[in-house]
Amino acid sequence: MDAQDKKIATDLAYEIIKDVSRATRPYFGTPEAGAKVKIGADGTPTSYIDIVAEEIVIHILKEAPVYSYIISEEIGELRLGKGTKRSITLTEELRRDDIPEDEKPKFIFLVDPIDGTTNAIKEIPAFGISIAVASVPDGRLATLDDVELAFLSNLANGNFFEAEKGRGCWLNNEQVQPSDIVNISNMTLGGFTKSSTIEASKLVDNARRMRVLGSVVLELSYVASGRYDAFLDLRGSRIIDIAGAKLIVEEAGAIVTDKYGEKLNNKLSIHERAIVVAANNQVLHSQLIDILNDNQTDLIAKIGVISRIDQNRSILFSAKIIDYLLRNGRDVIIEKRLAHKLSELKQNPDLEDAIAKTRKKHPQMAHLLEDINFNIDYDALSCAIFDFECDMAIILGGDGTLLRAESKMKPEIPIFGINMGTVGFLTDTEVQDTFTSLDEILKGSYYREKRSRLVVSHENNNYSAVNEVVIMTDQPAKMLHFEIKVDGEIIEQVRADGLIISTPSGSTAYAMSAGGPIVDPKVGGFIIIPICPYKLGARPFIVSDNSEITVKLLKKGKSAVFVMDGQRSEEARYEEEIKFKKSEKDVYFIRTSTKYFYKKVKDKLNEGGLNETPRCNNE
């Protein structure tokens, strides 16, 4: 968004705020304002005063000299401008490649015409209009990172916040900054909790003051100006409510994340929500995050399902799980390839025979494949794995399936693995225990296990791995010559068939087979293991995961491939460096027992990864 575009967007925002303020003022505190007119696009009741405000917003953007998209609380998602108005689905619209250049919208407006409607109806002076303006990305979904301008006006008293990405934040034309409070016992906390949230109660009990004003946009912005020291909404705020306030808070120098301290970068959509934790500084924010994650679990409301699709038993079992989740009131999304396979099975006239054949081949799970409900529109629930937005992803398969799926999903999505492979060390449960485990998870009896991942850097490209990176020659029985540095210090020069850089998670995989130690995932380290080294004293190293590991090929004319988690391979040549360090993004697993790791070692590895009960051949 260049300077001219920012001026156009700013002028439109100013006009909207001025006209909405003038038009709604006569209704503040009147019975007419609170009359329920309809259910808005976001699923909440719409009052008459909301309609008055939104009609002004729509009119101004419709008659504007540029095209814009708008996401608004009551009317949903529209394309407006140059006298036109059309309903759209923004995520679909942004993927289009057939829009003429002169018809492409310039902006995405996220507008809550009146946040705190009940306050306006009852004339409690805490309600306002929020406008965030995002640039329109090219060929991808828009996210909170695309928001460049924010405007927020308290319609009750005229206080006006404004922020520009990278430029700062102002309140009534004066730059603001957050407070310097660092102790929870001294903080003023605002926000909304939810029932049975013990850790939130701890925060409320220990805070000096607690405020609940009934307007997310105003209260979140108060962190920017020091009126609040912290704010949280554990119910899940709508993206249209927080898009502008988030930019205001961040431009003031404060911090806004999700409950786990991860950056908020949700897609821009009328249906999108996010749990919000904001604080004036990193010290106070870290304390909030630590308290909120002490033995606390979230309601698992939306679940993604991914499965290997090379065997009928996995596909059929996924259908059983999807039906179970829907019957238990959960929202479900299905990975596209799996949804396609399920739809094919559903239409197959020999479906009953296929189920009977699968049950006969796999008698140990025959009872789990009884009474499968195929009366589900799988295509309507399908979603590309890259676009998954859910509280948990269920993955049916072995460790390979899990690692492939994890590499394509957003890193903050926790994974629950059901073992339908050979070893399944990273999975949480076996097939026969699936529904017992899911019953516990849906009741909230689970915990999130955090594990480190590697970032691999080579020739200005970055890759990631959960288990390990293997460096080897692409010519069998040929050796490579490696120089290995840790934080710039050479720790080894060795000729070997290859080299493994492993996380603790990968210590039970290829690293173990190559003679490396088994490392508890809670250990903060990485393992360096030469494969078949031609050197008597070459031994595995365990180094701190705060270190940077550098590997360089020393022999001229030799090249190598490095493979991430057995999924993706890249080539490295003579004297090129491959760097390894800990990723800022961890991977999370949903576990139903705290006694996970050592039990897995005992159960899975004593017999070389083979179950005592022989498996049937795949279809």
- The Cα 90–Cα 473 span in angstroms is 47
CA distance linking residue 324 with residue 332, whole number of Å: 10
Rg (CA), the chain: 27
Pairing of strands 68-72, 76-81: antiparallel
* CB-based contact 402:426 (threshold 8 Å): yes
CA 326 from centroid of its chain's CA atoms: 22
Angle between helices 198-206 and 282-292 (to 10 degrees): 140
Nearest to 434 by CA among 448, 418, 414: 418
Distances (CA, A) of 111 to 418, 427, 444, 477: 42, 42, 34, 63
Distance CA 337, CA 314 (A): 13
Catalytic residue at 371? no
Q: In the chain, what is the straight-line distance between the N-terminal and C-terminal CA atoms, in Å?
A: 54
Return the structure tokens found at 609: 């990864």
DSSP lists the bridge partners of residue 164 as 149, 168
- Of 233, 399, 428, 545, the active-site residue reads 399
DSSP 472-535: E-SSTT--EEEEEEETTEEEEEEEESEEEEE-SGGGGTHHHHTTPPP--TTS-EEEEEEES-SS
- Does the CA dihedral 572-458-261-195 come out positive or negative? negative
What type of residue sits at position 319?
A
CA distance 547 to 580: 9
b/e map of 292-311 (b: 16 or more CB within 10 Å)? bbeebebebebbbbbbbbeb
Question: At a CB cut-off of 8 Å and minimum separation 6, what does 24 contact?
Answer: 49, 52, 53, 114, 120, 155
Report, as residue numbers or ranges, the catalytic residues: 399
